[in-house]
Structure 1
Amino acid sequence: MLLTITTTARPATDLGYLLVKHPERVQAFEQSFGTAHVFYPDASPDTCTAALLLDVDPIKLAKARKTPDLSLGQYVNDRPYAASSLLASAMANVFRTAMRGASRDRAELAATPIPLTITLPALPCRGGPDAARRLFEPLGWRVEARPVPLDPEFPQWGDSRYVTLTLEGELRLCDALNQVYVLLPVLDDAKHYWIASDEVDKLIRAGEGWLAAHPERGRITRRYLANRRGLVRTALARLADADDAPDDALDRDPIDEEPPPVDPTAAEPGDAEPERAAAVPPVPLAERRIQAVLDTLRAEGAHTVIDLGCGSGKLLSRLLQDPYFHFVTGTDVSPRAIMMAQRRLARLPRQQEERLNLFTGALTYADDRFHGHDAGVLMEVIEHVDVPRLPAVERVVFGDARLRVVVVTTPNAEYNVRYEELTGFRHPDHRFEWTRGEFREWAEKVARTYGYQVRYVPVGDEDGEVGPPTQMGVFIR
């Protein structure tokens, strides 16, 4: 099976730096089910193409199964030729650094959208070409999905279930790779390995920045997790809680209300969402958290606000929509996050745009631009900070910035038992998640050290045993 990646961003051979694979070499990487080869059919300053060729060994693939399959189908199948979860696994192994968006030699290029063309000559596609377009077009790709005939010599036989897929667009390479990694097994609607609870973390990590806002996120999640109901509910709950979920998202919260059963044998095309009773869906936790922060800021009379760790700008957008807030600042250590926020806020009315200041900055270093605000917000930020660096964040936010009000929200680790199949943290990037006692201990220490009083506000439906899903501390100087 074959995957090719082409760019025309000059010098095009910088693609080798992003993939961490030299254009002048042919490299081989052993997999548990065969061998992955990386080579460059074309490498010039104007155009560069990298190819990933996966040579599947049916004997290795059969031996890798935990439960023996005695049928002939394990040896005679389309796995050596058609793109599938095998190719996705090879991508994760071979292009691991590129999929993280890291590049030692071309860091700025790795964070920049570049023109890309990705081609998969043979892709099993349940639902046909329309399914491929529904999944890739919302991500900004121009999609060409040509059905592969059963036999070109006998056109009356019709088309096979395979398509030749070509994607063209301008994206960061890491985003493109992660999207293909997730959507290959979704279109194939099959995986070559057992789906365990760690697959949710893989999906959340690879889907960061695009999956929560995808109009087909329900279908993608169900197929990626092979309709494992508990895993699907956990994944959808975490996606609904994501910062990049759409502002108007009203998906059912899989924790608060169990979704109807999914019929894995439902026919294609259409793959329609299950019918639901006509009822008002519960408000997602992410929306309830934003509303709790806005209500608190208004109650404390904070007219100028800085969002410390603004991410993709979801809270900024809501602050700017409310004329109560006279001036709004957003900052994040990630240039990519600032770029996403700029994109989200690009079409602001002039009167809102004039009230916004957006810049890249680290919370571990004192910065004069943090000064002069009534309030600062750390919404789902501190759990992303390495524990040894927390004191530096405390000194900057509570000490140097001298904010009158600081609002901090963070997950309540005790509530995690309500997320079925969740075995780790709610997000792969979390460094820790505190219980209510641990959060209060930290908050009281910070308040004593920097001259604040603190009160605690539950966010979300409060469980009698484990408390609310999100805990919020309101610090008043």
Structure 2
Amino acid sequence: MLLTLTTTHRPATDLGYLLVKNPAHTQSFALSFGKAHVFYPEATEERCTAALLLDVDPVDLVRGRGGGEPGTLAQYVNDRPYVASSFLSVAIAQVFGSALGGKCRDRPELADAPLPLSATIEALPCRGGEGMLRRLFEPLGYEVAAERLPLDEAFPDWGQSAYLRVSLARTCRLRELLAHLYVLVPVLDDKKHYYVGDAEVENLLAKGEGWLAEHPEREAIALRYLKHSRPLFRAALARLVADEEASPEEAEDDKAAPEDRAEARMSLDEERRAAVVAALRRAEARSVLDLGCGEGKLLKRLVDERVFERVAGADVSMRSLEIAKNRLRLDDLPDKQRRRIQLFQASVTYRDARFSGYDAITLIEVIEHVDPPRLGALTRVLFEHARPRVAVVTTPNAEYNVRFEGLPRGALRHGDHRFEWTRAEFHAFCAEVAGAHGYAVEHLPIGPMDPSLGAPTQMAIFTRAAGEDGANGPGNADGHGGADGHGGADGGGAGAQAEEEAP
């Protein structure tokens, strides 16, 4: 089986430092099931490709001498030497272990650097077809190309095989790509060549840290990875959703900063909602989606305004959505009123068909909860794929923080904030996004103004330029969203994983 990893990072030969494999040499490694060979078909400053070739010994595997369970393979003639499977995952862990662990001894800064990367698997079994392949990798932000392989090129009448030649491309850290391959290749194969027990739950959670909990297909991934063991699946799922089950109030208390209480004293939260509703009314929006809706405080305000004919809220926390549902009293509303409102689980960094079809989308105190490297995914989801006519974004003004009594200099307002921008930084971000996606942007302050510091909250109103494409029809209510634990303005939040389409 063959896996190739390619980068166009300059200099591209830095890939050798990350993999701890010299591009000038061919190296071989003994594994329990055969041998692994690493070589570089190309290695220039502009483009570098590392190949991992596995030579699996099926005879040893049939006879139980290959490091797998006794009787791992029942026949000497099989597909294991040729197709990607759990053998490839083991090889990645043993041959590229430091890269998988995010370590780079000679160039440590490279391990944390997002690089343009692509991976090609020459033959990948896909139980569930190309649709399953895309449902697994596209929500993580990969561009996926798949080609069905014939059973035999010499006999086209025999038809197509169950295997795909797959290429995946994304700008990310190498350890992320390797972790995704490590987990998802055997998931697609839906087989494991070794015993799966409690230790494999820990392995899944370790390799899935930072992305699996919010993946739309997390249940299918866990079930297949754990070889359809229901007890292990339930144990893994309980761990994955543990944070989601926690009380939002407890989480907020744990992370709260003095500024949170200061905002409450000045009713800034309420003032934000009023300013957002005013902006939406001014834009003549009739349908609104609140991303990172949390416990539904803005949704309640929108529902009370009859001008908004269709209102939806999306959040990664099911607990927050339950609170929003109770706040809106959805179960008590007449059918006509109930049809105006939709709540669903999703993450702002996943492309999701349900985000499309709204006049306006709001992200209220959400973006500062997203890791800066993931902001590109968020902006593509919002402005490239959903493309509302109007988008309203609010975020703290970092310059104003000195006005909050008890907040240490340089500290962020909230324990879960990844950053807080000055007015100049936010304006620069908005200008770049608007220019790239065909929007105009207007900035408005929210809260008491300081002559030199500005207001505590800054709001950007994006309006799609006339003639730009975009749909404002009814939104798609089908599909699955992601899940994440980052808090939004109303106690819920937006995810910080890779952008692409949720099925």
TM-score range, shorter chain: 0.5 to 0.7
| Aligned residues of 1:32 and 1:60 also touching (Cα < 8 A) | no
**What residue in structure 2 maps to residue 289 of structure 1?**
247
Residue 213 of structure 1, CA deviation: 1.5
Say if 1:322 and 1:162 are closer, same or farther in 2 by CA, change over 3 A.
same
**SS in structure 1 at match of 2:37:** strand
Residue 338 of structure 1, CA deviation: 5.8
**What residue in structure 2 maps to residue 352 of structure 1?**
394
Of 58-67 and 168-177, deviating more is 58-67
Say if 1:237 and 1:355 are closer, same or farther in 2 by CA, change over 3 A.
farther
Residue 108 of structure 1, CA deviation: 2.6
Residue 16 of structure 1, CA deviation: 0.7
**What residue in structure 2 maps to residue 26 of structure 1?**
26
For 2:117 and 2:176, the matched residues in 1 are separated by 11
Q: In the alignment, residue 77 of structure 1 is paired with which amino acid?
A: N
Residue 330 of structure 1, CA deviation: 12
**What residue in structure 2 maps to residue 427 of structure 1?**
none
* Structure 2 gap segments, 5+ residues each: 265-291, 299-364, 384-390, 400-407, 418-503
**What residue in structure 2 maps to residue 10 of structure 1?**
10
**What residue in structure 1 maps to residue 460 of structure 2?**
none
Residue 340 of structure 1, CA deviation: 4.9
For 2:57 and 2:80, the matched residues in 1 are separated by 9
Of 232-241 and 339-348, deviating more is 339-348
| Aligned residues of 1:138 and 1:214 also touching (Cα < 8 A) | yes
Q: Percent identity?
A: 46
For 1:167 and 1:176, the matched residues in 2 are separated by 9
| Aligned residues of 1:82 and 1:122 also touching (Cα < 8 A) | yes
Say if 1:319 and 1:146 are closer, same or farther in 2 by CA, change over 3 A.
closer
For 2:55 and 2:160, the matched residues in 1 are separated by 25
| Aligned residues of 1:151 and 1:157 also touching (Cα < 8 A) | yes
Q: In the alignment, residue 289 of structure 1 is paired with which amino acid?
A: S
Matching of residues 327-342 of structure 1 within 5 Å: 339-340=373-374
**SS in structure 1 at match of 2:394:** helix
**What residue in structure 2 maps to residue 447 of structure 1?**
none
The yes-or-no answer on 1:121 pairing with 2:122 is: yes
| Aligned residues of 1:83 and 1:124 also touching (Cα < 8 A) | yes
| Aligned residues of 1:133 and 1:145 also touching (Cα < 8 A) | no
**SS in structure 1 at match of 2:261:** coil
The yes-or-no answer on 1:302 pairing with 2:239 is: no
| Aligned residues of 2:124 and 2:166 also touching (Cα < 8 A) | yes
1:327-352, Cα deviation, whole Å (9 max, x unpaired): x99999xxx95645897699898773
Matching of residues 387-398 of structure 1 within 5 Å: none
Q: In the alignment, residue 63 of structure 1 is paired with which amino acid?
A: R
Say if 1:6 and 1:52 are closer, same or farther in 2 by CA, change over 3 A.
same
Matching of residues 176-215 of structure 1 within 5 Å: 176-215=177-216
| Aligned residues of 2:368 and 2:395 also touching (Cα < 8 A) | no
**What residue in structure 1 maps to residue 65 of structure 2?**
63
The yes-or-no answer on 1:157 pairing with 2:158 is: yes
Residue 153 of structure 1, CA deviation: 2.8
**What residue in structure 2 maps to residue 466 of structure 1?**
none
Say if 1:72 and 1:228 are closer, same or farther in 2 by CA, change over 3 A.
closer
Say if 1:319 and 1:222 are closer, same or farther in 2 by CA, change over 3 A.
closer
Say if 1:16 and 1:141 are closer, same or farther in 2 by CA, change over 3 A.
same
Matching of residues 52-91 of structure 1 within 5 Å: 52-61=52-61, 62-64=64-66, 68-69=70-71, 73=75, 75-91=76-92
For 2:190 and 2:40, the matched residues in 1 are separated by 30
For 1:114 and 1:32, the matched residues in 2 are separated by 32
For 2:68 and 2:393, the matched residues in 1 are separated by 62
| Aligned residues of 1:320 and 1:352 also touching (Cα < 8 A) | no
**SS in structure 1 at match of 2:185:** helix
**What residue in structure 1 maps to residue 137 of structure 2?**
136
**What residue in structure 1 maps to residue 46 of structure 2?**
46
For 2:10 and 2:45, the matched residues in 1 are separated by 6
Of 177-186 and 343-352, deviating more is 343-352
Residue 21 of structure 1, CA deviation: 1.2
Q: In the alignment, residue 96 of structure 1 is paired with which amino acid?
A: G
Q: In the alignment, residue 353 of structure 1 is paired with which amino acid?
A: T
**What residue in structure 1 maps to residue 242 of structure 2?**
241
TM normalised by structure 1 equals 0.57
| Aligned residues of 2:366 and 2:395 also touching (Cα < 8 A) | no
| Aligned residues of 1:321 and 1:352 also touching (Cα < 8 A) | no
Residue 292 of structure 1, CA deviation: 2.4
Say if 1:24 and 1:213 are closer, same or farther in 2 by CA, change over 3 A.
same
Say if 1:369 and 1:343 are closer, same or farther in 2 by CA, change over 3 A.
farther
For 1:117 and 1:92, the matched residues in 2 are separated by 18
For 2:12 and 2:30, the matched residues in 1 are separated by 28
* Structure 1 gap segments, 5+ residues each: 243-283, 306-316, 358-366, 380-477
**What residue in structure 1 maps to residue 99 of structure 2?**
98
| Aligned residues of 1:29 and 1:36 also touching (Cα < 8 A) | yes
**What residue in structure 1 maps to residue 170 of structure 2?**
169
TM normalised by structure 2 equals 0.54
**SS in structure 1 at match of 2:175:** helix
Residue 201 of structure 1, CA deviation: 1.1
Residue 203 of structure 1, CA deviation: 0.9
For 1:318 and 1:101, the matched residues in 2 are separated by 34
For 1:66 and 1:139, the matched residues in 2 are separated by 30
| Aligned residues of 1:135 and 1:216 also touching (Cα < 8 A) | yes
| Aligned residues of 2:141 and 2:377 also touching (Cα < 8 A) | no
Q: In the alignment, residue 170 of structure 1 is paired with which amino acid?
A: T
For 2:196 and 2:257, the matched residues in 1 are separated by 46
1:210-265, Cα deviation, whole Å (9 max, x unpaired): 211111111111100111111111111111135xxxxxxxxxxxxxxxxxxxxxxx
Q: In the alignment, residue 293 of structure 1 is paired with which amino acid?
A: A
Residue 14 of structure 1, CA deviation: 0.3
